[in-house]
Amino acid sequence: MNYNFLSFVLTALVINLAPGPAMFYVMNQSLKYGVKAGLKAAAGVEFGVFFYVLLSAFGLMFIFQQIPLLYKIIQFIGALYLLYLAYISWPKRKSVESSNVLSQNSTEADRYSFSKGMLINLSNPKIGLFFVSLLPQFIPASSQPAWLYFLLYGLIFNFGGICVNMTVGVMARKLKSIIQRASWFDYIPPLLFLSIGILTITREGL
C-alpha cells in the first residue's frame, strides 16, 4: 500500500507538471486577462478532469467487484496503453505547437475562461482512458474497500493538477520562460509511462 501510494503520488506530480494544452491555456488566460482569468481557467480545466476521475473510479469499482478477472485484463491492457503513450509522447523536434495553443486562445474573453477550460478536458475522452489505464497499475486486486482506493487516487491526481495549474495562473509571466527552456522535462513523462507499463507486466506476471 505504502509503496503503491508513494509511487502514485510521484507519478501524478510528474504528469501534472508536464506542460500540455491545458497548462498553456491557463497560462495564456492569465497573461492576456490577468491572474483572475488564469485561476478561473485552472478551475475549469480541473473540473473537466474531475468528471473523468469520478467516471473512471466508479466504473473501475464496478468491474473490480463484479468481474475480478476482467480487472486483471484491464491492468494488462492499461499497461500496454501506457507503453503506447510512452512511444507517442516521446519528444520530437521542437515545433511551434505550444505557441499555437497560446495564439488560438488569445482572443477568448475572461468571462469564458472557466467554461472553455472545462470543455478542453470534457471534450477529450482520452483522459478517461488514461485514468482507466493508470489507476489499476497502483491498486492491487486485493485492495479493499475498492471504491475508496479508486476515488482517493483519482482525487489525489486531480488535487495535484489544481495546485499546479493554479500556480501557473498566478505566476504565468515568470513560469512562461522557464517552461519554454526546460525541454529536458519533456522526456520524463514518457520514461515514466514506460517504467510503469514494464513494471506492471513483470510484477503481476501479466
How far is 26 from 56, CA to CA, in rounded Å? 25
pLDDT by residue for the chain (206 residues), tens only, comes to: 577 888 899 889 988 988 778 888 898 889 888 899 999 999 999 999 999 988 888 888 788 777 878 877 887 888 888 888 888 878 775 443 444 444 444 444 567 889 988 988 888 777 888 888 888 888 877 777 777 888 899 999 999 999 999 999 999 888 877 766 767 767 877 888 888 888 878 865 55
How far is 180 from 202, CA to CA, in rounded Å? 36
Cell triple for 74 = 484491464
Helix 21-33 to helix 35-66 angle (10° resolution) is: 160
Cell triple for 66 = 463484479
Number of domains in the chain: 1
The pLDDT of residue 193 is: 80
The pLDDT of residue 45 is: 93
The pLDDT of residue 161 is: 94
Domain that holds residue 46: 2-204
Cell triple for 73 = 485484463
The pLDDT of residue 97 is: 41
pLDDT tens-digit readout, 70-98 = 877 887 888 888 888 888 878 775 443 44
